[in-house]
Structure 1
Amino acid sequence: MVQKPAPDSARRSERSRRAIYDAALALVGEIGYPKTTIEGIAARAGVGKQTIYRWWNSKADVLLEAFLDLGEQAARAAAQSGQDPRDGIPDTGDLAADLKLVLRATVDELLDPRFEAPSRALAAEGLVDEQLGAEFVGKLLEPQLQLYVRRLRSAQDQGAVRPEVDPRIALELFVAPLAQRWLQRTGPISHAYTDTLVDYALYGLAPR
């Protein structure tokens, strides 16, 4: 009698986890965060509710991890194309051009339907759920902001930014307006818009 190999529990768990990620992101995109439930995610993923509750405490936790995974997938795809995201913001010696390049890529991501719905859901829920908000900032936003900090410090070393400027505050001059306009829908976001933010931030409003 030929013995069948024992089921690979690790592979089965990874397959279930991936199905749950996909289900959570899909439902938020289709019906919105308020209507998305653990029951709905479980049904869409083809798993039991107990499977989800074994790994996560809430739908917010599921969505945060699914969104982080989505970002990691995008990073891996970029790395395969030769654009390793770990390299951070390019440093060509032209600060304005480098900032415009990365902010244009940010606009493209914010307008990508795969990212937009879960991004909005997490940002909104993070305002009322302090723990989720802290995780969203710590795991997702702050690592991205530190890329700007490093690029601005490099610009300081090159003499392109005044030495007394705090890079962590300075980056908010172009990142914060983009985030506010996108989140509150106060106007369209585009490459031209972020280019203008960089020009205003670096060159000011006074006549030159």
Structure 2
Amino acid sequence: MVKKPAPDATRRSEKSRRAIYAAALALVGEVGYPRTTVEGIAARAGVGKQTIYRWWASKADVLLEAFLDLGEQAAGQDTDAVPDTGDLAADLKAVLRATVDELLDPRFETPARALAAEGLVNDQLGREYVARLLEPQLQLYVARLRSARDAGQVRADVDPRIALELFVSPLAQRWLQRTGPITHAYTDTLVEYALHGIAPR
């Protein structure tokens, strides 16, 4: 009699984790963050509530990891760098255009808004959101601006961490507060204003 192989617990756990990620993202998109619950996520994923609490402390933690995983899947598991073609303006415009496309993608927009809003009232989640999601992305801009500074394309006294806020922060504010459309033309203009100022040339 042929013995059946023992079930692979690791594989089963990964399957459950994936189902939980998908359930969390789907529910937030369908009913919003306030009405999403751990119980609802568990039911949607086909797992017990205790399974979720074994891995995460709250629905916010589930959603944060699900969103980070979504970003990794979209990027092919690789961390994208800001391109360095030697043309700083063109490189920044290219990355910001891609950012606009992502922010307007419903798969990303809904959970991103939910996490950003919850992070304002949930200190721990807010810190994790910044540390695990925002800061690694901002450091890519820092690296590119340092390269431009070393190449003499921006002033030697420019602080890259502050400089990046000239184009990243307005985009984030407009997206979060819906004060106007976010488009490729808008982010191109942000780069032009940040690099060349608004005084007559």
Q: Indicate the TM-score class for this superposition, using the shorter chain for normalisation.
A: over 0.9
- 1-structure distance, mates of 2:194, 2:47: 49
- Aligned residue for 1:12? 12
TM-score under structure 2 normalisation? 0.98
The answer as to 2:66 corresponding to 1:97 is no
TM-score under structure 1 normalisation? 0.95
- 2-structure distance, mates of 1:100, 1:74: 20
Match runs of 1:144-155 below 5 Å: 144-155=137-148
Which amino acid in structure 1 is aligned with residue 118 of structure 2? E
Displacement after TM superposition at 1:3 (Å): 2.2
- Aligned residue for 2:162? 169
- Aligned residue for 2:58? 58
How far does the alpha carbon of each residue in 1:106-140 deviate from its partner, in whole angstroms, 9 at most, with x for none? 00000011100000000000001111011000001
Secondary structure in structure 1 of the residue aligned to 2:76: helix
Which amino acid in structure 2 is aligned with residue 144 of structure 1? Q
- 2-structure distance, mates of 1:118, 1:133: 14
- 1-structure distance, mates of 2:198, 2:130: 31
- Aligned residue for 2:47? 47
- Count how many residue pairs are aligned between Structure 1 and Structure 2: 201
- 2-structure distance, mates of 1:89, 1:56: 32
Which amino acid in structure 1 is aligned with residue 27 of structure 2? L
The answer as to 2:184 corresponding to 1:191 is yes
Displacement after TM superposition at 1:158 (Å): 1.0
Which amino acid in structure 2 is aligned with residue 168 of structure 1? R
Structure 1: which 5+ runs fail to align?
Answer: 78-83
- Aligned residue for 1:114? 107
- 2-structure distance, mates of 1:124, 1:60: 11
Displacement after TM superposition at 1:41 (Å): 0.3
- 2-structure distance, mates of 1:127, 1:9: 37
Which amino acid in structure 1 is aligned with residue 83 of structure 2? P
Displacement after TM superposition at 1:75 (Å): 1.3
Secondary structure in structure 2 of the residue aligned to 1:76: coil
Which amino acid in structure 1 is aligned with residue 26 of structure 2? A
How far does the alpha carbon of each residue in 1:136-191 deviate from its partner, in whole angstroms, 9 at most, with x for none? 00001000000100110111111110010100000000000000000111111000
- 1-structure distance, mates of 2:118, 2:28: 13
Which amino acid in structure 1 is aligned with residue 74 of structure 2? A
- Aligned residue for 2:152? 159
Which amino acid in structure 1 is aligned with residue 191 of structure 2? V
Displacement after TM superposition at 1:194 (Å): 0.2
The answer as to 2:34 corresponding to 1:31 is no
Structure 2: which 5+ runs fail to align?
Answer: none
- 2-structure distance, mates of 1:129, 1:51: 23
Which amino acid in structure 2 is aligned with residue 142 of structure 1? E
- 2-structure distance, mates of 1:11, 1:65: 19
- Aligned residue for 2:119? 126
Query: What is the root-mean-square deviation in Å for CA atoms of aligned residues?
Result: 1.0
- Aligned residue for 1:80? none
